[in-house]
């Protein structure tokens, strides 16, 4: 079974180890941008905090999708699906 984000033509869901590497790279880049934004405008902290929480939620969703895709590839899940 093959999983994609969003739709049949969406980005392929990577395996969990690759997803974690992607998330780490994205966070490193985003952290620099957030730090620059806060340095330029300290008053944006409240808005920035909400943005950070939202981004972490999106990244958590990507990891969960990767874990689900990995579990779906296991024989036990395939067998359970065939029983129904």
d(CA 53, CA 78): 35
**Average pLDDT in the 36-49 region?**
97
Chain-wide mean pLDDT for the chain? 89
SS3 annotation, 7-73: CCCCCECCCHHHHHHHHHHHHHHHHHHHHHHHHHCHHHHHHHHHHHHHHHHHHHHHHHHHHHHHHHC
At residue 1, the pLDDT reads: 62
What per-residue confidence (pLDDT) applies to 84? 66
Mean pLDDT of 49-74: 92
Percent residues over pLDDT 90 in the chain: 60
């Amino acid at each position: 079974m093959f999983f994609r984000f969003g739709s049949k033509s969406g980005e392929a869901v990577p395996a969990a180890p690759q997803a974690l590497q992607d998330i780490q790279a994205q966070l490193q880049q985003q952290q620099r941008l957030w730090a620059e934004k806060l340095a330029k405008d300290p008053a944006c902290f409240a808005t920035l905090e909400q943005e950070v929480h939202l981004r972490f939620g999106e990244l958590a969703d990507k990891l969960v999708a990767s874990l689900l895709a990995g579990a779906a590839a296991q024989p036990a899940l395939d067998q359970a699906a065939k029983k129904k």
